[in-house]
């Protein structure tokens, strides 16, 4: 049943026009990285890698958010949720199927974008380092987490609000160092307590960001990569579990 829901979700997502619009702009951004490298004084390969990896992360995140926030809402809006849940299927199976279907969609889209990106790097440098694939793998891991977050918000909110919440999660996750600085400057009280709770609950997405190391060819210790992988997987599973709890308690009547 999970497999059927996943493939059905994939078929629906792959027909969504917004997906191809974002893919188009991602391709334009990758091509622009080459033009920027030609017009800029410096290492052209580093510029292409920097802009390229950033583009893959940004547009992949937009795909995850815009597609993920409507997964549950569309089923509720079309009343198909009643037909699905009337069958011998658990709610956690429904959510997991939706999640895996969108992940499959992101795999296809990220693969297409990555092929163009790697061809650009290969054309300018003549080689592709294995660290590039590690960077792409961590971008995908971050997209899995963002997808889980989008699915969580879609369980109890509208697509517009869910998109705002998910995008805020993404931005705060990459700017958590600023939240830590804010906590140090706040006076003791409810504001500082709420900020500390937010800092504790929201993962530091910079732990999954190795773009600087890859672009400048800095060594990455295997234990750091393993720790980042475990960190990303833990938070993804944690958010999915929270989504299941919320979805199980929701009344659709």
Domain range spanning residue 38? Answer: 2-249
Q: What value does the CA radius of gyration of the chain take, rounded to a whole number of Å?
A: 20
Which candidate, 15, 193, 216, places its Cα nearest to that of 135?
A: 216
CA atoms within 13 A on the CB side of 140: 19
CB 108 within 8 A of CB 98: no
pLDDT tens, per residue, the chain with 253 residues: 788 888 888 888 888 788 888 888 888 888 777 777 666 666 777 888 888 888 899 999 999 998 888 877 777 777 777 676 677 778 888 889 889 999 999 999 999 889 988 888 888 777 777 788 888 999 999 999 999 999 999 888 888 988 999 998 888 888 776 667 777 777 777 777 777 777 777 788 888 888 888 887 788 888 989 999 999 999 999 999 999 898 887 765 5
Q: What pLDDT was estimated at residue 252? A: 59
Q: How many structural domains is the chain composed of?
A: 1
Q: What pLDDT was estimated at residue 226? A: 93
């Amino acid at each position: 049943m999970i497999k059927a829901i996943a493939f059905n979700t994939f078929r629906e997502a792959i027909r969504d026009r917004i997906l191809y619009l974002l893919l188009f702009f991602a391709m334009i951004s990758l091509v622009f990285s080459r033009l920027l490298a030609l017009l800029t004084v410096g290492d052209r390969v580093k510029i292409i890698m920097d802009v390229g990896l950033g583009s893959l992360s940004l547009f992949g995140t937009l795909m995850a958010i815009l597609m993920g926030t409507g997964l549950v809402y569309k089923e509720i809006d079309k009343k198909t949720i009643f037909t699905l849940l009337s069958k011998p299927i658990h709610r956690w199976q429904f959510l997991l199927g939706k999640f895996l279907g969108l992940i499959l969609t992101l795999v296809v889209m990220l693969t297409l974008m990555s092929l163009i990106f790697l061809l650009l790097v290969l054309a300018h440098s003549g080689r592709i380092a294995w660290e590039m694939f590690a960077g792409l793998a961590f971008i995908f891991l971050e997209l899995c987490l963002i997808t889980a977050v989008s699915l969580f918000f879609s369980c109890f909110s509208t697509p517009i609000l869910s998109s705002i919440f998910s995008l805020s999660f993404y931005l705060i996750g990459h700017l958590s160092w600023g939240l830590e600085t804010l906590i140090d400057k706040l006076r003791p009280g409810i504001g500082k307590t709420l900020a500390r709770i937010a800092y504790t609950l929201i993962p530091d997405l910079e732990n999954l960001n190795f773009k600087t190391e890859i672009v400048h060819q800095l060594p990455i210790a295997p234990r750091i990569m393993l720790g980042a992988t475990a960190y990303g997987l833990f938070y993804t599973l944690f958010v999915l579990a929270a989504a299941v709890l919320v979805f199980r308690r929701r009344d659709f009547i």
